Chain A
Amino acid sequence: MTLLEAIILTVITASTPLLIAAIGELVTERAGVLNLGVEGMMIMGAAVGIAVAITTGSSALGVLAAILAGVGLAAIFAALALGLATNQVATGLALTVFGLGLSGVVGAPYVGLQRAGIGKIEVPILSDIPFLGPILFRQDPFVYLSIALVVGVSWFLTRTKAGLVLRACGENHASAHALGYPVLRIRFYATLFGGACAGLAGAYLSLVYTPFWTSGMTGGRGWIALAIVVFASWMPYRAAAGAYLFGGLTILQLHAQSAGVPVPSQLLAALPYLITIVVLVLIMRVRSQGAAGPQSLGTAFVPDR
């Protein structure tokens, strides 16, 4: 296997949790809901995922439990931000703090335990193609799921009526309501979807990436996912590009260090963040379509009847 191939495989692994969480949050935000609690939902997914997987011995149950954990936290957010029209930024932050703390409590008995990570799926014959084979046809199920999510969400948002309605809730909830659409219910489901994705991303971390539990193991990835949604101008394929860009830069800077590039390691480590800013600015200069995001993003919807 060449170095380039190895690097690409590592980049895919590093970018997948970012992508999964970002896609979920993208749908939530397209419906007009700003949920800053991604980090909290993700780490709860990681904690619950590995706790259930170790206890039951089943990875599948662990993943399912992680998704449910994400959905559960998202439901708390929805009850407050949608049901009681609380400020979404504050509610999301509270969710992050709450999720971080609760994950520590849930995960505490599992510190120091480990299990085999979920293995890769190998497509026979195709995966033996040199170079492209392993990259495309020998990946763990989460990678394929993340691609499916990108394609599926993009199709849903642009090609289905339901997606159009969801976007309308995000752009102008008053008009959507006037047209008779159940804005709050749509936003509710979008929020739960975002929670499911965040929980799934967390499960990836604790069941595949580094299969054990330690407190704080998401390491801020939830915040990066939020940034990727903005970077992507709320479009799914761009979110994939953003996730791979960020993951790629993170991995490349490690390779640069290992190869002895004489640049301070802190500067190399800062590159992913700096380049993300630069690319965002360049995108803004080239086109401003969709740049500001859904118009009603973050504003509570309280129907006046």
Chain B
Amino acid sequence: MNYPVTRRQLLAAAGAIGTVALVGCGDDGSPQDQALAGNRVGAMDNFGVGTQFKATEALNFSILILSNPAYPYNKDWPFFKEVTTRTNVSFTPTVVPLSDYNQKRSVMVSSGNAPFIIPKTYHPDEEQYVAGGAILAVSDYMDLMPNFKDKVAKWNLQGDLDGLRAEDGKFYLLPGIHEDVWVDYSLAMRTDILQKLNLTVPQTWDELHTVLKAMKAAYPNQFPFSDRWSTPPNPGANNLLANISQAYGTYAGWDWQGTHWDEATGKFVFSGAMDQYKQMVQYLNTLVSEKLIDPESFTQPDDAAQQKFARGRSFVISTNAQSLVNDYRKDIASIPGATVVKIPRLMGPQGAVKAGSRLENGVMISSKARESKNFVAMMQFIDWLWYSDAGQLFAKWGLEGQTYTGKVEDGSFKLASDVKWAGLNPTAPKSLQVDYGFYNGVFAYGGSTKLLNSQFSEEEQEFQQAMAGRRTLPVPPPHPLSADEREQASLWETALHDHVNQQTLAFILGRRPLSEWDAYVTELKGKNMDTYVDMINRAYERFKSKR
């Protein structure tokens, strides 16, 4: 009995039920202090950066908890016990299986039954609840969150944060924040083949072309590159397209966004019609026509691509740190002498850059929480657990001396020898996640680059080092749409995106000659490309003038 719920149904229902109206507050301090006078029970008076939060009386907050099957929720986790010891806070959880978390969240929020704390929300999922008023505009309460404010300032995250803002200029989600862009996905390559053919690891997409040609010359009967991650609706080989589009300075595959910010003209342009997009498609078309990349790369299921790699029928495939170790290495173990590494992201015309969001999934707050007499204490608690250095370290690695030793800052961090996590201490008897409840996706994410690096194997640290040297591109400026505009825009976007996907594939696979590019752009215009881009540009101007 699966009832599909549309966003509109949710909004309508939420509106009809008449959930609590949003209580707005001024941005400056003193009126807010007055407004919050009745909500300070349990709160600390002198809470600030570096302060250990401890509620002045025992408090209990309702929370939505995602239960991950790899480490199912357990109320007896030392994590919860320690949270209570340190902060005097305990939880009343609603436990939801990972499989359908979003749906349950939607139902609970829309029916007015949501817990106060709603973690694991990915932007822009929160937008659907804004109009109903069930979610708190957290940007109004930044003064209650010194650690969050501090990190946003220190890591220069204001631009990223602006991307979350709704048309009213507020944001409704407390995102996980990273100090730097975390690059994980790239290409995996058979290094034994490289050695055998006297090749070096390529650094640019042009060098990859040369390497693939050499591989093809040595193994003429197979495609040296056969890729995966072709789940619809994107055109296929979505990681490959994401990587290469970044190198060329546009969006495609997983990274697809309808509009691309053009610094030179100060306007947004349509990604799928950019010259850079054409160059990227041209490059891939060359690989296909020279039979260097398997044309099935764009359509085959992951298993098929992995099988080809496992059997030595291909030498290059998309990867992340986990797939490399857990899948590919194990898969090729039966091929004598075979070795595989994850190579640093290939570079293109854009040079040594990386792009991406430094924000992650985050926490929504139910509007009802604002009415609670413990509201201030709750915001302080969230600020400590999710955004303070101490809270992040605790949620991730647990207890010093028990689950880990050393310091993250000076690189002396070490997981305790009887505790395992992912690839670390694989034979240890206890699991950091299953037995202790730390490194739980609900509570632990984001943080400083040093904290992030503490989780990597040496091999992965090398990859991270290579990526760390690259310049991080700024995020596009905010251009929030109103609810009506969003609906209209998503209609246009869907039609445009479908067409871009189809034609991208046709161009790459040579089913349509690239000489027809101009005709393709005209087709996009026929699908309201210009009106759509105008709307985004207007929204950008509107938001700029408001601030």
**A and B pair up:** no
